[in-house]
Each structure stands twice: as C-alpha cells, then as structure tokens.
Structure 1
Amino acid sequence: MVNPTAPRLGVVVPSGNAAVEPEISALLSGHVHVHATRFPLFTEFEQRERIARYNEALAPAIASFGRLGARAVVAECSGSHYLQGPAREQEFCDDLSARFGVEVTTVTRTVLAALASIDATEVTLVSPYAQWLTDLSQGYWEAAGIKVRDIVKVRSSKGFSPYDVSTDELVEQVRAADRPKDEVLLMTGTGMFTLAALEELKAGVERTIITSNLATAWWSLSRLAPDAVVNWRLAP
C-alpha cells in the first residue's frame, strides 16, 4: 500500500545516476516518498567542469518541482560540493532554502549529520573515484573536521567509475583491505549501488559503514518522519 499523505523528498540527481532513487526509496520504506529531477547533461564539458556547473543548475532544478510540495530537497552529487567546500556549501544551502521556502541540503551535508549523530570524527574512505576526485573528497571531509585515517580505493572492471562498481567488486575490495571493525567506513558516491554490499558486510550489525544514500535516507527520516520504524541503523 502507498500512503498518499507521506512527506515528500525531492532529490536532484546527475543524469546517469541510477542508484539514488531505488536505494533511498528502499531505505525509507514508504515513510517518505522520493521524487527526482535531474541535472542537465552538460556533455560538452569534462567531468570537473560539469559537476561545478551542477551548482549553478541546482536552483532551476528545484524550481522544476513546482507544486509537488516537497518538504525538503537534497542535491545528490557529492563532487559538486567537494568543489565548494563545507563553508561555502552551508551558505549555498541557506540561500536556496530561503529562496524556495523549503529546506535544501546536499548529500555531503547529510553524511556530516549522520557522522555527527554517531559521534564519528574519523573515517576510512572507500572511494570509487579517480585520484583527483578522491583527493577533493578527502580535502572536503578534513575541512569539515573529519579525520581521514586511510583510503580504500574501489575499482570496477571498467576502471574508477562509481556507476560501474558491482556488489561483488565492492565487497571483495573492502574485505581485501581488512580494515579494523572499530573503524567507520565512509563509502563515497551517490551513484554506486551499496545496499546489497552493506548487508554482506554486516553494516550496522558488526561494523559501521556510512554510504551517501544511507546518509540521505537517515537525514530524511530524522527531518520528515522522526517516528518511523525501519529495519536498519547506522551503527551497531
């Protein structure tokens, strides 16, 4: 059954990202409905310039929700906000929230909120990114006060590409890294499918693994449906 009165979450997603809607919807279990719009393609630009332009395109994307009645909107491209840095990102979200009269945040800010909720100040990054983007990611988290203890690089059969990492590839490479179970693993990238891997790695049961989509789901429930009961948790 679908609850037509459940609060509505808007997400703004890169065009090729197939993971955000199904993963967040699965985690929200119908307590919050997910409604998506997409950033422009910007195919004429290389990746760094393209993700920078997503920040300029976010306001029109939010406007495209029109009369949907979203209670909150999350921008779902981590790299765009690595480029901004946490201080500028805060101002950016505040400005958009005031402009549209709805809380606007970013996936990276939902990750920071999730980490704060479990008192985590150190992480080991699990990164499917190319080196330049991994470096930007590390710089962002450290600027936000999160110590990066180490980095586990995850490579798909097609190279460093979040969209192409399979569950088997992700699980195998995380297990091969043999990180201590008391570490917090932070899996970066909204476009990497992670839910099946979290189950195999006993996330929330034997160890703490935070992913971009898990953080957005947790943040959405905390804001929009705080009394909802779900069958997962951030930490054991």
Structure 2
Amino acid sequence: MTALGFLYPGHSAEDDYPRIEQLLGSDVRLQVVHTDIGEDAHRVDALLEMGSDARLGAGVEELRLSGADAVVWACTSGSFVYGWQGAHDQVRALARTAGLPASSTSFAFAHAVRELGVKRVAIGATYPGDVAALFSSFLTDAGIEVVSVRGSGIITAAEVGTWGEAEVLALARAADHPEAEALLLPDTALHTASFIPDLEQELGKPVLTANQVTVWEALRLADRRVNAPALGALFIKRPLVQV
C-alpha cells in the first residue's frame, strides 16, 4: 500500500481525490488534509498568506499520523505566486516540517510537461489575468515555452468549484492554441477528474489539470507509476525506448 498525503486549501474540488483514487485502481491511498486559506481570493497578497509556512505546517502532523509516504501542497496559485525560488523554498520548508518528500502543484505541472516530452503549452486559467501571468512566468523559468495564456477573471475558489464539465470544456476550447502541444488547466479548485479523456479527445492533445498532476507528482515522489488511462495521457505508461 502506498499512502499519499495532500494539503488542500479550503473546500472546493477535493472530491476529485477520492474519484482519482478510484480511477487509479491500485493499492494507492490518497489522504487529504484541508488547510485554512484565510481570505478566499485569487489576489497576490491573499495567495502569499494562503501558502505561508504556518498555514501549511498546521496540517502536516495529521498527514504524518496517516502514514503518508510523500506530501504535496495541492495548490497551484499558492505556490507559483512565490516565484521559482520562493516555491522551492516553500516545498523545502514543507519537507523539513513533514520529514517526508514534498512538492507542490506548480512543480507537478513542470514535471508533468517534461514527462509528456512536450515543449510548448497553452494555459487556460480560472484566475484573473495578472495571476495567470505569474503561472506563465513560473513555467518559463522551468524551461517551458508558453504560447498563450487565457485568464477567466474569477476571484474565489468557491466560484471555481461550482463549474461543471460544460464550463471546463468551454475554457479548454477558448484557451487552446494551434502551436501548443498540451493544454494546462492550473486550478485545484476546478473539478476535472471525471472527464480528462473527453477534454483530450476534444482538443486532440494532452490536457494537464491541477488535481490530476498533483496526484501524479505524489506518485512520482513515492517512486510509483500507475497506468490509468481514465486519467489522461499523463497516466498512460510508455514503452521504454531501446537504444
């Protein structure tokens, strides 16, 4: 049994996690601990407070008691808002506090893009434009070419959590770009776990979503690979290339 721990801000789309656990169809347990987000706002000052060491540290003990093998801060905006170096400092502090391998959703996106072997991506964000631009800058610092960014101007995670498949599909269509090899949907408040293959079929390319890559990142930290096509191209095992 592999136990994976997630610090999830507030309550919006956390039901993606039991759904993903079911779709993994393996001996993997996903443990979600909710952190206090303070003010629910996609605004830089509020996001910096949401991702502070004190708020993350408050949930760590519960994850340790659950027997987690790794922990991921399941928040994109509350990590990339710190910038490339600041986000590294954030996960290092989390790893020290937890005594476990640690990461965040922002790094999960960077690592997942590399896993897929793509170079150019488009971003379809629920955030206001200035916050979406910070995610683009984070990916650029990771060596990824961002060919387009679309923000939706939504301020609260609570509103994002009300979106269903129709709204997500509309965002994906609007945000896609012909030069992009993959589309990224970076908000963990967005429900996507039930229809990633439908999004990929619609766009004809891989789609990376926040809760999907967060779980994949935790599996990576735990040195696990799970073949789960229902979670999209990222979860399809690829044959080793013979040299």
Question: 2:36 maps to which residue?
Answer: 40
1:59–1:135 Cα change, 3 Å:
same
1:221–1:87 Cα change, 3 Å:
same
1:227–1:145 Cα change, 3 Å:
closer
Q: 1:201 aligns to what SS in structure 2? A: helix
| Corresponding position: 1:21 with 2:10 | no
1:178–1:186 Cα change, 3 Å:
closer
Percentage identity across paired residues of the two chains: 20
Count of residue pairs the alignment pairs up: 230
Whether the 8 Å contact between 1:73 and 1:104 is mirrored in structure 2 is yes
Whether the 8 Å contact between 2:13 and 2:188 is mirrored in structure 1 is no
Unmatched 5+ stretches in structure 2: 237-243
Whether the 8 Å contact between 1:21 and 1:34 is mirrored in structure 2 is yes
1:212–1:204 Cα change, 3 Å:
farther
1-structure distance, mates of 2:18, 2:60? 20
| 1:175-186 → structure 2 map (5 Å cutoff) | 175-176=173-174, 179-180=177-178, 183-186=181-184
Q: TM-score, normalised by structure 1?
A: 0.82
| Corresponding position: 1:198 with 2:196 | yes
Whether the 8 Å contact between 1:203 and 1:235 is mirrored in structure 2 is no
Whether the 8 Å contact between 2:115 and 2:234 is mirrored in structure 1 is no
1:127–1:207 Cα change, 3 Å:
same
Q: TM-score, normalised by structure 2?
A: 0.80
C-alpha displacement of 1:235: 8.1
1:161–1:181 Cα change, 3 Å:
farther
Question: 2:234 maps to which residue?
Answer: 234
Whether the 8 Å contact between 1:204 and 1:233 is mirrored in structure 2 is no
Question: 1:92 maps to which residue?
Answer: 90
| Corresponding position: 1:116 with 2:114 | yes
Whether the 8 Å contact between 1:165 and 1:193 is mirrored in structure 2 is yes
| Aligned-pair Cα RMSD in Å | 3.1
Question: 1:210 maps to which residue?
Answer: 208
Question: 1:3 maps to which residue?
Answer: none
Unmatched 5+ stretches in structure 1: 1-5
Question: 1:187 maps to which residue?
Answer: 185
